Amino acid sequence: MLYFSKLRITLVSLVSIFFIFIAASNFQNSEDSFVSKKINLGLDLQGGSYLLLEIDNEPVEIQKLQNTTTVIRNYLKNKEITFNDLRIQNKKIIFNVPNDNVQLVETFFLDKESDVNPYYFQYKSHEFDVELQNNEFSLTLSKYGLIEIKTSSQDQALEIVRRRVDEVGTNEPNILKRGNNRILVELPGLDDPMRIKSLLGKTANLTFRFVTQNNNDTFGTEMLQFENGTSEAMVSKRIILNGENLLDAQPQMNNQTNETVVSFTLDRVGAKRFGKATSTGVGKQLAIVLDGKIVSAPVIRDTIASGNGQISGNFTFQSATDLALLLRSGALPAPLNIIEERTVGPDLGQDSIKAGVIALMIGFLLVIFFMFYKYKIFGLIANITLLINLFFLVGILTLFEATLTLPGIAGIILTVGMAVDANVLIFERIKEECKKEKNNIIAFDTGYVKSKTAIIDANITTLIAAIILFFMGSGPVKGFSVTLAVGIFTTLFSVYFIARMLTGLYVVRNKEKTKLI
């Protein structure tokens, strides 16, 4: 009944000592500590930037529609089916076919093995939803067509974002997918995200195209502004080279003009195309277009066959470095918008830790004095339990390398306040039992048994709140739910294994005492 085997006492003591060591390792240098694990500090405590980026997929959707339009045009031409009025309108591809061909064309799109409208076997749905009215077809991207676009552009964007962030060289960035069109970037220790933000804000879509005066260019033309916004030029839509052909880009000082430039190296295909274009186009202006704006448009003086070139355009060293970085890391599939940003400076983080630790110590002391005042010896037992509980809590957070946030510290302090509850419930129950029962040992035992359901129920309700908070909350609040939940388990363990043993040992020694508690 009230017997604790030596083995049990030893085990409980060993577990306690183990967690005290683990918890203590957070306050030592990593070299001479017992374990190499440490609690991670959240961005709100160590300082850093949190950026939530949303991918604007509209350009990708439109591009997809344009590509599909071309595919449909060629397909119908190959099958020698006449069609009219093929156009994109309100994100729909619309065209007419003569009445006698409607059925034939419909099978092209609705056939499960359709080449123009794939995905059927993957999703049991086509890439495009087809609507037919009289003899007019209209195609819209289906739910799965959109998902496919979103996930693939998210994958690409994630890769490019990672490259760009890595190039800037912050320590241990955390880059994650969120939903199917968002990317989360966490940059610990970075207190001014200005540069990263401007780097992530650019698509960096680079093209080389000829400046033309000829309106009847077969590929079409468009008016584009120069980067400095002062003038514009007509540029062919024919793309000679794009960013994908770049092998490398570096900022450089041009010795002759004393100007900062970005020098680049092209891959084999790019070098070939560039050589051909520069040989046929001597005397023409070649526009270097970045994200729809002309960076510069130098006149081609000579054939460039080496695959090396330079981009000039009133760069400072910083802007040339950034452009080179963007070109090296590649273009984003779609523009990114920063929809949430949270930055905490390192000194505020320090202050928060300091305030949190002070609040924890004061809260802990207040609770300890109060408990000792109320329960004397039993209060002391509750306090020892509470202290060990605290080590358990910190130790487990360390073992799992959990992230500690400011609300997380609040969660620990709150656990200190609430953890004594279980012991209080038990002590009060023992007190009651002592009134009826002369035998201290029996009173002690019934006290534990009878308080059990209340303790379990009470802790489960708090656990439910913590779990919901974990799944619904974000960032720092999540940290709170983690400490709260872990705190419940450590509390129950320390109450039933440590406090029970200590009270048990005390009760056995004071069997005959009249006023036990």
Partner 1 sequence: MINFNKFYKLFNYISLALVVLSILLLFFKGLNFGVDFKGGTLIELRSNDKGINVTSLRQAFNKMNLGDFNIKKFGNENDFLIKIEKKDTSANAIEVIKKDLTSSLGGSFNFRRVENVGPKVSSELLKSGIIAIALSLAAMLFYIWIRFEWQFSLGAILALFHDVIITLGLFSLFSLEINLSIVAAVLTIVGYSMNDTVVIYDRVRENLRKFSDIKIYELTNISINETLSRTIITSATTLLALVSIYLFGGEILKGFSLAMIMGVIFGTYSSIYIANPILVKLRVSQKTILKEDTE
What whole-number distance in Å separates Cα of residue 488 and Cα of residue 461? 10
Kindly report the CA angle at 129 between 126 and 132, in degrees rounded to 5? Answer: 130
Closest by CA position to 487, among listed 429, 404, 381, 378: 404
For partner 1, give the closer residue by CB, 222 or 432: 432
What whole-number distance in Å separates Cα of residue 116 and Cα of residue 74? 11
**What part of residues 201-260 is at the interface with partner 1 (CB under 8 A)?**
201
Binding track, positions 151-190, relative to partner 1; x by CB under 8 A = ----------------------------------------
Considering CB under 8 A, how many residues would be counted as binding partner 1? 71
User: What residues have CB less than 8 Å from 6, skipping those under 6 apart?
Assistant: none
What whole-number distance in Å separates Cα of residue 343 and Cα of residue 484? 25
The reply to whether 263 sits near partner 1 by the rule CB under 8 A is no
Closest by CA position to 64, among listed 252, 333, 417: 333
For partner 1, give the closer residue by CB, 110 or 362: 362
DSSP secondary structure, 41-52, as one string: EPHHHH-EEEEE
Q: Please say whether the beta carbons of 295 and 170 come within 8 A.
A: no
Out of 94, 130, 175, 367, the only residue in the binding site for partner 1 (CB under 8 A) is: 367
For partner 1, give the closer residue by CB, 54 or 227: 54
Sheet holding 221-226, edge to edge: 232-236, 221-226, 293-296, 286-290, 206-210, 241-242
Residue that is written with structure tokens 């002759």 in the block:
256
Out of 59, 275, 281, 473, the only residue in the binding site for partner 1 (CB under 8 A) is: 473
Q: Which stretch binds partner 1 (CB under 8 A): 102-110, 160-168, 194-202, 394-402?
A: 194-202
The DSSP 8-state label assigned to residue 493 in this structure reads H
DSSP secondary structure, 188-209, as one string: ET-S-THHHHHHHT----EEEE
Binding track, positions 41-70, relative to partner 1; x by CB under 8 A = ---x-------x-x----------------
For partner 1, give the closer residue by CB, 133 or 453: 453
Q: Which stretch binds partner 1 (CB under 8 A): 55-63, 264-272, 388-396, 454-462?
A: 454-462
For partner 1, give the closer residue by CB, 173 or 309: 173
For partner 1, give the closer residue by CB, 12 or 326: 326
Instruction: Fill in the amino acid letter for 80.
Output: E
**What part of residues 341-360 is at the interface with partner 1 (CB under 8 A)?**
341-345, 347-348, 351-352, 355-356, 358-360
Pair of tokens at residue 359: 């609040």
**3-class SS string, 309-326:** EEEEEEECHHHHHHHHHH
Distance of closest approach, residue 289 Cβ to partner 1, in angstroms? 21
Burial class of residue 2, CB neighbours in 10 A (0-12, 13-18, 19+): middle
**What part of residues 476-505 is at the interface with partner 1 (CB under 8 A)?**
476-477, 480-481, 484
Q: Which stretch binds partner 1 (CB under 8 A): 94-102, 118-126, 404-412, 505-513?
A: 404-412
The reply to whether 291 sits near partner 1 by the rule CB under 8 A is no
Out of 409, 430, 482, 495, the only residue in the binding site for partner 1 (CB under 8 A) is: 409
Out of 122, 460, 511, 513, the only residue in the binding site for partner 1 (CB under 8 A) is: 460
Return the SS3 of 287: strand
Q: Which stretch binds partner 1 (CB under 8 A): 116-124, 254-262, 301-309, 417-425?
A: 417-425
Out of 370, 372, 489, 496, the only residue in the binding site for partner 1 (CB under 8 A) is: 370
What whole-number distance in Å separates Cα of residue 76 and Cα of residue 110? 15
Distance of closest approach, residue 484 Cβ to partner 1, in angstroms? 7
